[in-house]
Amino acid sequence: MEVTSQRKKSLSGWIVLACLAGGWGCAPPSAEAPGADLRRDATVAAVEKALPCVVNIATSKIVKVLDSYDPIFQRFYGHQKEELNSVGSGVIIDEDGYFLTNLHVLERASRVQVKLSDGTIWDVERGKTIRDTDLALLRIQAPDGKKFHAMKLAKDDDLLLGESVIAVGNPFGLGGTVTRGILSSRSRRLPSHGKVQEWLQTDADINPGNSGGPLINLRGELIGINVAEGEGQGIGFAIPVKQIAAALAKFYTPESARALWFGARVTPFNAPLTISFVQPRSPADQAGLRVGQRVLNVNHQPARNLVEFQRLVTARPDNAAALEVEENGRRRSLTARLVSFDDLIRQRIGVRLENITATNAASVSGAPGDGVIIESIEKDSLADKAKLRAGFVIVAIDDQKTSEVFDAADVLSARTAGERVAISFVVPPSFGAGAGRYNTTVILR
C-alpha cells in the first residue's frame, strides 16, 4: 500500500519522538569492527611509527655560537651549564644508528649524547656536516650488530600542498612531543647562513628543541627536517626531503668514508638507487657509469640504501667494484677501480699529505681543520719544483680551503692535465726565517 508524503513525515516524527523517549539516541549502526578503536587514526599510526626513530640530543655544555639561532638558545637555555642539557632533536635514518640533525644544534654541543624513546642513552660519534644545508649526519656508538628503528624517507617530490603533516621532537627538553598541521608551502625562500634557502612551511608548531627533528606525512615518512620556528604562531620551517637526499648522497660516498676516489653519486637514500652525478675522468666515468642508470647490484649483492652501497663499493681489498646497472631497459656489467686519495694526490702533484690532529698540531703551530701537513715530497715532482717542503701546511687549493686531505683530493680530482692549480701554504714558525703564508702555482701534467 502506498503511503502519502504527509503520512511519511508524520511517521518520521513519531519515530524520532519514540527514540528520544526510549533513550535510544537513534545513532546509525557503528561501522567500527569488533575490538577496533576509533581514536587510532592515521595520525596516531604515523606517530607510533615515528617516535622510536626520534632522538633527543643532549650536551654537557651549551656552546655559544654567533649566528641567527643564538638569541633563541640564550632565551630558552640561558648561560652555559655543566649538567646534561637538551638542545635539539634528530631522526634515525638507518638501522645501524646513523641519524640526521641540524648543524646549528650540533655546533652548540661540547659532548653529544642522544636519548631514545625507550629511555636508553647513547654516546655519539662525530660525523659529517654540510653547512649550506644546515644538516649534520652522526652515528650512535653501539655494539656491533645493534639495530635501531629507522625512518623511511619519502620520495623527493611526493609533497601535497595542504596535506596533514606532523612535527616530532623535544621542544624545551620536554621529551617526545608531536604537533600537527598542514603543509603550507612546498618552497618558501628565506635567508639562512648567508644564502637563500628553499624550505617547507607548515603551521604545525615548531619550538626550540624541535630543531633537527622530523616533519612527517601520514605514512610516517620523513618529508623534512625541522629547522626553525617563524616570527609568529602557526609558521614553522623544515629542510625538504629533496635537499636531505642530496646531502646524504654527499655524506655516503667512498670519498668521505674510505678516502677512495670513485667519482659518482647515487640517489635517493633507499633503493632503487639511481646514478645522479658522474665526475668526468673519474674511475666511475672510466668504468662507463652514466647519469640515469639504475643500480641493480654491487659486487653481486643488492644495495637496499646508500649505506649498503657505500659499504659494497669499498668492500674489496683490490679497490675494484663490480656494478650491474640498468639503462634504457638493458642490463650492463661494469667495473670501477677506485683510487686512494694518497695515490691521487701523489699522481697529481707529488706529495703525501696528512690531516692536522691534536697530536701533531703543536709541530705546525696550528689546530685541526687549519690545513693539511705535507708529510713527504717526491723528488722532481711538481711540488718539489714549486719549492714546497715536508712540514709545510697547505691551507687552500684554487681558493678552496683544505681543512682535511679529502678537500685536497676533491679539488685535484676535478682538474685535468695542463690546468693551472694555485696552492696556498704556510711555513710554520719552526722553520725560523721565512715563516708565513705564501702562494704558488703548478701546471698539472
B/e letters for 124-153, b = 16+ CB within 10 Å, e = fewer, are beebbbbeebbbbbbbbeeeeeeebebbeb
307 burial class (0-12, 13-18, 19+ CB within 10 angstroms)?
buried
**Cβ distance 253 to 274 under 8 Å?**
no
What nine digits make up the cell of 216? 612527517
Q: Are 54 and 117 in contact (CB under 8 A)?
A: yes
Using only C-alpha atoms, the chain has a radius of gyration, in whole angstroms, of 28
Handedness of CA 341, 347, 348, 351 (dihedral sign): positive
On whether the CB atoms of residues 216 and 200 are closer than 8 A, the answer is no
Q: How many CB atoms lie within 10 A of CB 101?
A: 30
Helix axes 306-313, 241-251, angle to 10 degrees: 20
What phi, psi does 241 have (nearest 5°)? -60, -30
Q: Find out whether 186 and 200 touch, Cβ atoms under 8 Å.
A: yes
Let me know if 219 is exposed, middle or buried by CB neighbors in 10 A (0-12, 13-18, 19+). Answer: middle
- Given 94, 96, 134, 410, the catalytic residue: 134
Q: Residue 386 has which C-alpha cell?
A: 714549486
Marked catalytic residue, from 89, 104, 381, 413: 104
Active-site choice (89, 211, 282, 381): 211
* Alpha-carbon distances, residue 154 vs 49, 125, 218, 269, 331 (angstroms): 14, 26, 11, 10, 27
Rounded to an integer, what is the distance from CA 413 to the centroid of its chain? 24
- State the Cα torsion 293-298-300-304 to the nearest 10°: -90
Q: Grid cell 706529495 — which residue?
A: 351
Measured distance CA(185)–CA(160) in Å, rounded: 9
User: Nearest Cα to 93, choosing from 140, 158, 46?
Assistant: 140
β-pairing verdict for 260-261 and 264-267: unpaired
C-alpha cell at 275: 646514478
Residue 104 bears catalytic tag: yes
Nearest of 365, 364, 396, 394 to residue 377 by alpha carbon = 394
List, in sequence order, the alpha helices (H) in 26-102: 42-50, 70-77
Q: Which residues are catalytic?
A: 104, 134, 211
